[in-house]
Copies of this chain bind each other. A is one copy, B any other.
Amino acid sequence: MAPISDPRLQDLVARALAEDVGQGDITTESCVPADRVGSGRITAKQALVVCGHAEAAEVFAQLGAAYAPLVAEGSRAQPGTVVAAVRGPLRSLLTGERVALNFLMSLSGIATHTRAAVEAAPGLRLVDTRKTAPLLRGPQRRAVKVGGGSNHRFALYDGILIKDNHIVAAGGIAQAVQAARAQAHHLLRIEVEVETEGQADEAVAAGAEVLLLDNMDDATMARIIARHRGRALFEASGNMSAARLPAMKALGVDVVSMGGLIHQARWVDLSMRLDGIDSGAEAPST
């Protein structure tokens, strides 16, 4: 299959390389000859769910080297598993190592963290939020999907979610929903964040099609769901943890959103080591 170029990925990686390389990798350029070619391997140092191949491959491609995934994204790797191999000019391998690992370690961290939550309540739709590292929302959301989760709206431009501050600013739930319905295009549903049963009733009456049940106890959620089932979808958020997810599933919420899938994930450990240096002959075709 001819790969379809993704200009967003290319731009992200180009900027990441510019950040780390700038005017040049002065260590590598001084002590590694330009014509030396070889290979290396990237190894998991702990148990993890792999994510980040697209970014890592783009890093090495932009440097004229090749990257071969050996463990598919979304699969588990154990300590010692070789998850990818690289080959090309040694300078390229050394210059790209850190940036590629930074993508792999952070994105695999999110996928690994998400997987644990997903497995706590199989079949429940778990989604991320807009609490993402600035400029990295695209890859971080992809890591959530690779980990088994789903995505919420991407940003402010592709979904209507009326939150507490909007209600205050608009002068009430009904006013806010009505205004949103008039302006939003007809392929969008309207979601309203509610904190009480009364707000839920008001939102549904105003035409909200999705309710964001924020920081509620289970009993309140149960009553709201019972009363409005069939007229709205239910998203639960706030104080969520893997341990609470089975209860959410039992309550019949449609979606649980957890910003922590992304922002409470820590990097997992991977490292790269050169494992071969050519006698000086050919380079990989790129």
The A238-286 residues at the B interface (CB cut-off 8 A) are: 254-255, 263-264, 266-267, 272-274, 277, 283-286
What is the count of identical protomers in the complex? 6
A266 neighbours in B (Cβ, 8 Å): 263-264, 266
In the complex, A44 has a CB within 8 A of chain B: no
Min Cβ gap A133→B in Å is 5
Which of B3, B30, B154 is in CB contact (< 8 Å) with A180?
A: B30
A163 neighbours in B (Cβ, 8 Å): 27
A23 touches B180 (CB 8 A): no
A3 neighbours in B (Cβ, 8 Å): 64
Interface 9-residue window, one of A13-21, A73-81, A219-227: A13-21
A26-B160, A27-B160 as given contacts; A188 in contact with B186, CB under 8 Å: no
B277 touches A168 (CB 8 A): yes
In the complex, A24 has a CB within 8 A of chain B: yes
The 10 A-B residue pairs with the shortest CB-CB distance, nearest first, are A30-B183, A16-B134, A22-B157, A159-B187, A25-B156, A263-B267, A4-B64, A158-B158, A31-B176, A31-B179
Q: Sample 13 A-B pairs with CB under 8 A, ordered by A number.
A: A2-B64, A2-B89, A4-B91, A22-B22, A23-B155, A28-B166, A30-B160, A31-B162, A31-B175, A102-B131, A105-B263, A133-B136, A157-B158
